[in-house]
């Protein structure tokens, strides 16, 4: 694998996104909902950089079955806090097709939040299948399979402090 984004680049992007979030919300209370499991590292780093009153929750959304096989999206919102009448920021690791985020936002919108915005560390170029674009983006990246900083391949590599591209020889099914 080869490094795409260094630990330093990622930390700078997270700081920049946090500044944008603060500019958008000011001192208003905010509910941040991280999308499991990929966003846990970003979620932890992001909330430490925000100064407004925060509520934090998570939602599990997955469409992968095995290493790279996509299937229907499964959403488990049992760990998500009540978002009625709240400003909500949905935090995810990567935006590729956009289908996961669109379905999550549709579900969350039914729960009556005051507002919903989205933040992603990575936006994979050329993969979007929806009109939606995230409100806050750390990096635009090429269409490559990436791991690290919460992203995995067969449940490995989430702990890397950087983002790396897997080479074809690294992929196994």
Q: Of the residues 96, 131, 135, 169, which is catalytic? A: 96
Q: Model confidence over 70-108: pLDDT tens digits?
A: 566 777 777 788 999 999 999 999 999 998 899 899 989
User: Into how many domains does the chain fold?
Assistant: 1
Looking at residue 50, its pLDDT comes to: 97
* Rounded alpha-carbon distances, angstroms, from residue 51 to 67, 94, 135, 149: 37, 24, 19, 23
- Whether the per-residue pLDDT at 64 is higher than 70: the answer is no
**Whole-number Å distance between alpha carbons of 136 and 148:** 20
Tell me: the pLDDT tens digits for 116-166?
999 999 999 888 899 999 999 999 999 999 999 999 998 899 999 999 999
Q: State how far the Cα of 121 lies from the Cα of 7, in Å rounded to an integer.
A: 13
CA angle 151, 146, 130 (to 5 degrees): 85
Active site residue 96: yes
pTM of the model: 0.89
The domain of 147 spans: 2-170
């Amino acid at each position: 694998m080869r490094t795409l984004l260094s630990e330093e680049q990622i930390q700078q992007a997270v700081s920049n996104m946090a500044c944008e979030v603060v500019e958008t919300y000011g001192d208003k209370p905010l509910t941040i909902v991280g999308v499991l499991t990929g966003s846990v590292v970003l979620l932890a780093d992001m909330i430490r950089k925000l100064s407004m009153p925060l509520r934090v929750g998570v939602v599990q959304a997955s469409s992968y079955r095995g290493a790279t096989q996509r299937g229907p999206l499964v959403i488990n919102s049992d760990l998500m806090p009540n978002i009625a009448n709240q400003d909500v920021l949905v935090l995810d690791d990567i935006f590729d097709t956009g289908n996961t985020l669109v379905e999550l936002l549709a579900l969350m919108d039914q729960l009556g939040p005051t507002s919903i915005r989205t933040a992603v560390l990575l936006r994979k170029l050329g993969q979007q299948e929806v009109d939606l674009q995230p409100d806050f983006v750390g990096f635009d990246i090429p269409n490559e399979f990436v791991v690290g900083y919460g992203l995995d391949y067969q449940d490995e590599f989430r702990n890397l402090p950087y983002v790396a591209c897997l080479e074809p020889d690294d992929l196994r099914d």
